[in-house]
A and B are shown apart, each in its own frame.
Chain A
Amino acid sequence: MLTARIAHIIRKVLRNFGAYPIVHFLAVMTIGISLFIPSAYLFIYFNLTGLLTKFGEEVHISVYLSDFLSIDATDALQEEILAIKEVDRVEYITKEEALVYLSESFSGQANVLEGLEDNPLPASVEVMLKEEYRTPDDVSLVASKIERMNGVEDVVYAQEWLARFYEAVKIVRIGGIAVAAVLSLAAVAIVSNTIRLIVFARKDEIEIMRLVGATRMFITVPLVVEGMIQGALGAGLAVGALWGLYRLFMEHYYNEFGLFFGAVDITFFPHTIILYIVLGGVLLGMLGGFFSFGRSIRV
């Protein structure tokens, strides 16, 4: 009895894919499109936040030291800076290293620095903050703390750039939530219309099954299984299309826009995200199956 039921479900699902190719094609396409849009958005959001995190690493405070500071005092100062809770790490740059960096940035015009007898550049400590403290307020707070320390000549950080960067991060985060909400609503609308389409196409079949004495379970299970397969195929389609576009972009356009992206790699979704998208599709299809019974006319 049970094996007959399972065999029946498998047979029925296969038969229905053959019997209603257009309905299934449309359902798969619709689920595909409704998942493609949020997936594409998620992809952009992921990479954009990756880009911003990368830029965030540029947030640093340059602390210029007095020329008369002893090595011990320099070490002590670094320890003192590291003790501030917002600080992630520090990097000491000697006067000589500073000169090397400067001449490197003037490479090709090395003669600019030739006339110098003494090295006019001060030694410095580059202070990097922890990720969660890379806000304009925190940076200026840390800067003012360091300013008061002994042996510190000057404290410099890109205040204006930082403020703009922070605004950009905020817009991406808040805008991200808003766009995600709108896209989710659109996806729900598309899916509910697909369900209506499926219901309409299956109305006669469901009516006849009820007429010959099919139980609710008997009608619903194959519909739900079909919905789940449609959902998985639709999700596969969405991820596949996105991956195709990603490859196309990487091979033909990435280099042209390379300057804009800096050294940031544009990466595709990790496997777990792909799995979630597929599960999302399966869930959508499942709901479609349930609803097509619920909305069918009661014979």
Chain B
Amino acid sequence: MDCMIRLNHVYKNYGMGTDALSDVSLNVEKGEFVFVTGPSGAGKTTLLRLLFLAERPTKGQVFINGVDVGSLPRRKVPYLRRAVGVVFQDFKLLPSLTVLDNVSFPLEVMGMGRREIIRRVRRVLKFVGLEDRERAYPLELSGGEQQRVAIARSVVNEPPILLADEPTGNLDSELTLDIIRLMEYIHGRGATVLMTTHNKDIVERFHKRVLSLKAGRIVS
């Protein structure tokens, strides 16, 4: 199997004493679904930030789809980012733009024509069950709906990798299950999914590979 994500003895230090990540090595195969768990401050978010290229490792190597992130020139970074969809706990939607415009972003960036963008956005909104809300603004939607918009945005350009940083952290248990099922569905269509959570119920309920972090190290 191809290796989609590979970390090779990675350290990350923000210049404040202790390492946020310390000697982390891992492989995620193409098409895997992995939960990353651990208490707050264990380094889950830092790990994800390395993977969507918001940070570079202090030491060690990060490979995404076979590309060594550390040796990638800065101007090539945007192109690699298009291979990675990201979902956040706080959704990161722009409140002044409609659902349609929010979800359009990744396709606009690729230089796609407007008509094709609208066609694809409608398709993905149908997929997340929001086909009748394209004209709505994020703050007119419930938390669960906003997260589904964010997921639609992260997968609209069909990236091979989907990262989710506590995507259900702001949602109640009913909505949490909806969101996880949606992620599973995306995974079923071929995406490699990495999701952080500190919700033990989820981890126990869905039988997936689990990576546990503690104080910047992988413990299991």
Contacts and interface: CB of A to CB of B under 8 A. Distances in A.
Interface in B179-199: none
A276 B106 CA distance: 39
A208 B111 contact: no
B105 A209 contact: yes
Interface in A1-40: 1, 4-5, 7-8, 11-12, 15, 19-20
Contact of A204 (B52, B54, B94): B94
B111 A8 contact: yes
A211 B52 contact: yes
A1 B111 contact: yes
A204 B97 CA distance: 12
Interface in A179-215: 204-205, 207-215
A216 interface: yes
A4 B82 contact: no
Interface residues of B, number: 25
A213 B109 CA distance: 7
A299 B97 CA distance: 21
A218 interface: yes
Interface stretch (B31-39, B73-81, B210-218): B73-81
B82 to A, nearest CB: 4
Contact of B81 (A1, A20, A211): A211
Nearest to A23: B96
Contacts of A214: 78, 105, 109
A289 B202 CA distance: 45
A15 B101 contact: yes
B79 A213 contact: yes
Given A1-B111, A212-B109, A212-B153, A205 B94 contact: yes
B113 interface: yes
Interface string B94-125: 10110001000110111111100000000000
Contacts of B28: none
Contact of B111 (A5, A20, A205, A207): A5
